[in-house]
Structure 1
Amino acid sequence: MTQLDAAASLRGLAVGDAFGSRITLPGDHPEVLGRRLPPSPWHWSDDTEMACSVVSVLSRYGEVEQDVLATSFARRYDASRGYGSGAERMLLRYRAGERWRDVSPEAFGTGSWGNGGAMRVAPLGAWFGHDLDLAADQAARSAVVTHAHPEGVAGAVAVAVAAAVLTRNPAPHPAELLGIVASRVPAGEVQRGIAVASAIRGSTDPASAAAELGTGRAVSAVDTVPLALWLAAQHVDRFADAMWTAARIAEDLDTVCAIIGGVLAARNEGAAIPGNWASACEPLPRWLTDPVAHGINR
């Protein structure tokens, strides 16, 4: 079941990412308020490309092999997918033969605290849904390859645990889900944000929740993950509603929606993904399932 859950989570992540990448209008625009889907095809971004590397490594090894994951990130790097400048510099250094153990911790002086570790990790959480502590540990291992700051790691742990929970309990109370996540996230600002999110009622205006939790504007784990998980927790069986709500209130929308989509699709093997949304999203890359194109030397 773990592989099926992870595959479903990856599809949901890609759909959310592609939807968020395609929505370029302000949140108060009539097309957003009227929920008019953008024309297809929807192309996904670096969020999905990196998530595919995570799944490919799990498929081959059953766990996070960090050196292989770093190699895959570097090999699959495609500038047209919208990587940030920091990620671009890092992955090009990996391509040039530098070790991730040397490069990642020195990013921004203390390691990156961005949301990149969180945006790609939901399928890993679904993979290890049978063991929440293992999901948290493997998420941390996947994050430090590019995001060595404790808050960058904490964001990845939070998303992975949320996805893992939904493979076990497809209909948790929002506060229950967020409480379980907060209990397994290392102490810090991400954990604090999730604890705050667990106390915000579902009847709260989402814009008010975003004002308290963050919108993703800073592209950090701290101001992205708590809101994304609050939205996921409030819409566990309403994939489209979660996405449209994010479109109204969030920034760095592709990443917020990728996190939401990956988490929500982990439940019930992705049954919540609307068919017309799935068909609008471009297919996942051929190398993910092609044994020849898939191979990465260790």
Structure 2
Amino acid sequence: MAPLSPAYASLHGLRIGDAFGARITLPGDHPDVVGRVLPPGPWAWTDDTEMACSVLSVLDRHGHLDQDDLADHFQRHFDPDRGYGPGAERVLLRYRRGESWRDIARSVFGGGSWGNGAAMRVAPLGAWFAPELDRVVTEAAKSAEVTHAHPEGIAGAVAVAVAAALACTSPLDGGELLRAVATRVALGEVRRRIEVAAEFRGTAEEAARELGNGREVSAMDSVPLSLWLAAHHFGDFEDALWTAARVAEDVDTVCAMTGGIIAARTGYDGIPVRWRDSGEPLPRWLVPSAVYEA
């Protein structure tokens, strides 16, 4: 069988990161986290994976990010038991009632959401359009606008997508990768923290204190750390996620972004078998037509 395409490998990395992170409810200094005792499966994934599947379904159907279809996918597949935040629930229920996403996404939070919801689901899109980086930026921004219209929310999505695109099309890692990502992100706090991450030389704990650890559930507070973790762990998916579990607070989303970026480079086989088997399978409604590389 041919290998999975980078986009679907990235989706699996996101799925496993999300599901693993959702099982990590212990503090980062707990002996099971420090000792890396893998939680028993199966690990159920959350809204991160559910929304990422909608993104890839729309790309598979249209070959580009159709925003109206994405909004429709989000409301049709919205499952409140998947851990959506209260703001996302309110927005998606309004979409389900037939209200226009164009009006709602720009009005919430007085100018659009700058949460990390657009970034958490977008790594596979970056792999899908790689190596067309201009296209990656455009399509990632479009995917964000459906729910996260604030410039920082969009910037977070662009950053993760570009990182995934570079992961599967270039050998860049560490600070070089982060500097390349930053050049494609609009000026603002997300970009500033990525630039800080590119020059950072401390421990993961220090990186979390410097860049943010996801506590605020914002793009600014979680995307730079996720990119830093991915850029310094391309050779070890497992170490990346255990490190995230130790230092992050929004563990499932930081792990989803980190895992999606790393798997874009390593492919499906770069995810340890036990981890792949412990995670909940992708939903049955995801029926892609271009899963495998030719």
**Does TM, normalized by the shorter one, top 0.5?**
yes
Equivalence for 1:90: 91
Matches of residues 245-260 of structure 1 in structure 2 within 5 Å? 245-260=243-258
Is the 2:131–2:165 Cα contact (8 Å) retained in structure 1?
A: yes
Equivalence for 1:154: 155
Equivalence for 2:267: 269
1:214 aligned to which of 212, 215, 219 = 212
- The amino acid that maps onto 2:272 is P
Is the 2:105–2:146 Cα contact (8 Å) retained in structure 1?
A: yes
Q: Describe the SS at the equivalent of 2:219.
A: coil
Deviation at 1:110, TM superposition (A): 1.0
Equivalent-residue separation in structure 1 for 2:176 and 2:63 (angstroms): 29
User: What per-residue deviation string (whole Å, max 9, x for no partner) do you get for residues 266-298 of structure 1?
Assistant: 01423311110000001000000189xxxxxxx
The alignment-based identity, stated in percent, is 62
- The amino acid that maps onto 2:260 is G
Is the 1:117–1:147 Cα contact (8 Å) retained in structure 2?
A: yes
Deviation at 1:3, TM superposition (A): 7.5
Equivalent-residue separation in structure 2 for 1:282 and 1:209 (angstroms): 30
Is the 2:174–2:198 Cα contact (8 Å) retained in structure 1?
A: yes
Equivalence for 1:55: 56
Equivalence for 1:294: none
| Ranges in structure 2 where 5+ consecutive residues have no aligned partner | 290-294
Structure 1 runs of 4+ with >4 Å offset: none
The root-mean-square deviation of aligned C-alpha atoms, in Å, is 1.4
1:186 aligns with 2:186: yes
Q: Describe the SS at the equivalent of 2:220.
A: coil
- TM-score, normalised to structure 1, is 0.95
User: What per-residue deviation string (whole Å, max 9, x for no partner) do you get for residues 78-133 of structure 1?
Assistant: 00000000000000000000000000001111100000000000000000112111
Change (3 A) 1:290 1:148: closer
1:227 aligned to which of 225, 228, 252 = 225
Is the 1:2–1:128 Cα contact (8 Å) retained in structure 2?
A: no
1:67 aligns with 2:65: no
Q: Describe the SS at the equivalent of 2:44.
A: coil
1:23 aligns with 2:24: yes
Equivalent-residue separation in structure 2 for 1:3 and 1:138 (angstroms): 22
| Ranges in structure 1 where 5+ consecutive residues have no aligned partner | 292-298
Q: Describe the SS at the equivalent of 1:177.
A: helix
Deviation at 1:205, TM superposition (A): 1.4
Change (3 A) 1:25 1:108: same
Equivalence for 2:292: none
Q: How many residues align?
A: 288
- The amino acid that maps onto 1:72 is H
Is the 2:127–2:161 Cα contact (8 Å) retained in structure 1?
A: yes
Equivalent-residue separation in structure 1 for 2:28 and 2:101 (angstroms): 38
Is the 1:9–1:262 Cα contact (8 Å) retained in structure 2?
A: yes
Equivalent-residue separation in structure 2 for 1:133 and 1:197 (angstroms): 23
- The amino acid that maps onto 2:113 is S
